[in-house]
Amino acid sequence: MKTWKHINEEQRKIINSGITHNKKLYQIADMLNLDPRSVSREVRRNRIPVDFADGTKSNCPKLDRWPYICSNCSNRYKNCSFIKFKYDSKIAQRKADANLINSRKGIDLDSSEFNKLDSIIKKGIDDNKSIYHIMIENKYKINKSVTTLYRYINNRYLTTKRIDLPYAVKYKKRKHNKKYDYSNNNIDRTGHTYLDYLSYIHKNPGINVWQLDFLGAIKTDSKNIISFILPNIHFTLLSIIKNPNSSKVVSFFDELEERIGTDNFIDLIPVILTDRDPNFTDIESICFSKITGEERCKLFFCDPYVSNQKPNVENINKQIRKFFPKGRSIDIYSQKDILEKNLILLKTPLKSLDGYTPEEAFKSVYGEDLYNKLFVNGER
């Protein structure tokens, strides 16, 4: 039975007629193919008073039961001291139409509630937080859905404007199709291509696949930020590298192995997918442990100019750009600054994690002890 459909005028006429002929609630509901609760709510919501008796403070107890009006009451022609109600299909339709229009316009908040909401949204956007993040952090203060908040912004009700949202404005059309000129095209990647990657994960379903990339920096910068992400829980590790080269990328993984232990490294990071950046070309040193000499992970490369083969790390780079805008130098930042932004990402509630943070997801799946090894005393 339908419980969600709007009741129309013809159905209201049937309800009115059914009540007049002493039909039971379930009988009228069957006639309309509606849930009895829908019919009950309709009558109670749209009934109207017809007699305002003086000196009464409460309604008749009979009005708490079907049919919730006085049409068929045996006392309706007697000296009844209670307020009397009736149901009229035409009046009910007019009330329903008015309620529908009013519910779809304006803001159902008083001035103090509106100012409080406006202040919360403005502060959150100024702190580079998404609307969803703001709502989760203030779930006891904001009694609105994400969709409603976006509607308020789009309709210019709030101080925050659409242009203030980080991804609401479309990107400009590119003037040319820029391609990166990698000088490592002659490197033998046999067994490490994207096709090899697809074959490997087909044989090992459910295995962890981390995505690796550099954020990118302006030509005059000596530093770059490496982003390393586990997509299924949106867990990200960031690190800043000065004068990046292949040996420093290897050092990033060696230090990671030393921090969490070889067994944890093999269990947590079995597969790495990255692009063909020259800094990622020392395949053997990345894949094999300096501690044991054994293989610690698999490394695979995307096809040239196909960034959507590793979309998660590309999306994380877009999130990181909120802190490090494109075209601005990152040389002024230290590893401590990068860690601070890393922790902000990890503590951000995500809709794809049902409102939980990547930090909470990681601790739930891999344990708090392993998380603490990755971030010892708030440092990496």
Give the integer Cα–Cα distance in Å for 219 and 211.
Answer: 24
> Is the pLDDT score of 56 beyond 50?
no
How do strand 84-86 and strand 48-51 relate by DSSP bridges? antiparallel
- For residue 374, the tally of other CB atoms under 10 A from its CB is 17
User: Position 165: which residue type?
Assistant: L
> Is the pLDDT score of 371 beyond 90?
yes
Contacts of 272 (CB under 8 A, 6+ apart): 209, 210, 211, 212, 286, 297, 298, 299, 300
Distances (CA, A) of 298 to 224, 243, 273, 303, 369: 24, 25, 9, 17, 25
> Is the pLDDT score of 168 beyond 80?
no
Percent of the chain past pLDDT 70, that is, above it, reads 86
Percent of the chain past pLDDT 90, that is, above it, reads 44
For the full predicted model, state whether its pTM sits above 0.85: no
One DSSP character per residue, 104-129 reads: TSS----HHHHHHHHHHHHHHHHTT-
pLDDT digits (tens, 9 = 90+) for 290-327: 999 999 999 999 998 887 888 888 888 888 888 888 88
pLDDT digits (tens, 9 = 90+) for 42-53: 998 888 887 655
What does the DSSP 8-state code read for residue 6?
A: P
Give the integer Cα–Cα distance in Å for 153 and 121.
Answer: 10
